[in-house]
């Protein structure tokens, strides 16, 4: 009996494959909010389930091409194109933010966004921008990317700081003076006010550094 399958009969298999691929990717970025449309071409008959694949070097988002192959009764290859949208709530500027402005919760909000063509990174939580300063003017509605902001210094040069030093289970605290400015996680030179010695310490909080004995 002749196999008279048309493209509509292959659609469930193709959709199922793409659904798994997109769901896996969406889950990896913390989303379960996605949709896709597939344009399936007219296909020749095939006696076995189609072999379906996609270019693994690219994420299944935006314009996606699937390769369709049949091996019986005759070998043929075709392609199906899809438009995939994955949505996340991204942090955007609620108001216009001026250059060198410390970001504030009132200046930010989250907006459901298709991330298919967001190329410069993004934030999904307003709290991720705590203590961040804008590097340039950001207009209202703009997606905030890591390139637009930087961590405000927790320690300024010549500022008095608390040095926390650990030795085993013991912790000692003393006063010092920062010889360099630094933000969270950076190593800076600090002068111990008690010993007058210069040490390297890691910035761990506003006006607070940590070092080891």
Q: What is d(CA 140, CA 159) in angstroms, rounded to the nearest whole number?
A: 35
Q: Report whether CATH 3.40.50.80 matches the domain 160-212.
A: no
Share of the chain above pLDDT 70, in %: 96
Read off the pLDDT of residues 11-68 as tens digits, 9 standing for 90 and up.
Answer: 899 999 999 999 999 999 999 999 999 998 888 888 888 999 999 889 999 999 999 9
Asked if 90 contacts 124 with a C-beta cutoff of 8 angstroms, the reply is: yes
Residue 203 burial (10 A CB sphere; 0-12, 13-18, 19+): buried
Q: By C-alpha distance, which of 118, 58, 62 is closest to 88? A: 118
User: Would you call 175 helix, strand, or coil by DSSP?
Assistant: strand
Can you say how many angstroms the Cα of residue 187 is from the centroid of all Cα atoms in its chain? 26
Asked if 139 contacts 185 with a C-beta cutoff of 8 angstroms, the reply is: no
Instruction: Look at domain 87-151 and name its CATH class.
Output: alpha beta
Asked if 86 contacts 61 with a C-beta cutoff of 8 angstroms, the reply is: yes
What size, in residues, is the chain? 213
Read off the pLDDT of residues 120-160 as tens digits, 9 standing for 90 and up.
Answer: 999 999 999 987 899 999 999 999 999 999 888 889 899 99
State the DSSP code for 40. P
Average the pLDDT over 60-84 and give the result: 94
φ/ψ of 73, rounded to 5, equals -75, -25
Q: Where are the beta strands (DSSP E) in 2-43?
A: 34-39
Q: In the chain, what are the domain boundaries? A: 7-85, 87-151, 160-212
Counting runs of H as helices and runs of E as strands, what totals does the chain give? 1, 12
User: Would you call 28 helix, strand, or coil by DSSP?
Assistant: helix
Mean per-residue pLDDT over the chain, rounded: 90
């Amino acid at each position: 009996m002749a196999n008279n399958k048309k493209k509509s009969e292959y659609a469930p298999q193709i959709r199922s494959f793409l659904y798994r691929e997109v769901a896996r990717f969406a889950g990896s970025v913390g989303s379960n909010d996605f949709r896709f449309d597939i344009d399936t071409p007219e296909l020749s008959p095939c006696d076995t389930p189609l072999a379906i694949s996609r270019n693994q070097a690219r994420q299944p988002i935006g314009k996606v091409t699937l390769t369709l192959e049949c091996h019986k009764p005759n070998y043929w290859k075709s392609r199906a194109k899809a438009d995939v949208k994955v949505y996340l709530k991204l942090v955007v500027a609620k108001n216009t933010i001026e250059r060198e402005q410390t970001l504030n919760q009132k200046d930010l909000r989250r907006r459901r966004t298709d991330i298919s063509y967001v190329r410069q990174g993004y934030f999904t939580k307003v709290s991720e921008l705590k203590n961040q300063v804008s590097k340039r003017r950001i207009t209202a509605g703009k997606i905030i990317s890591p390139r637009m902001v930087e961590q405000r210094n927790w320690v300024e040069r010549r500022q008095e700081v608390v040095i926390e030093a650990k030795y085993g289970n013991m912790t000692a605290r003393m006063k010092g003076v920062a010889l360099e400015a630094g933000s969270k996680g950076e190593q800076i030179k600090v002068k111990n006010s008690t010993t007058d010695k210069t040490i390297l310490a890691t910035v761990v909080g506003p006006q607070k550094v940590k070092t080891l004995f």
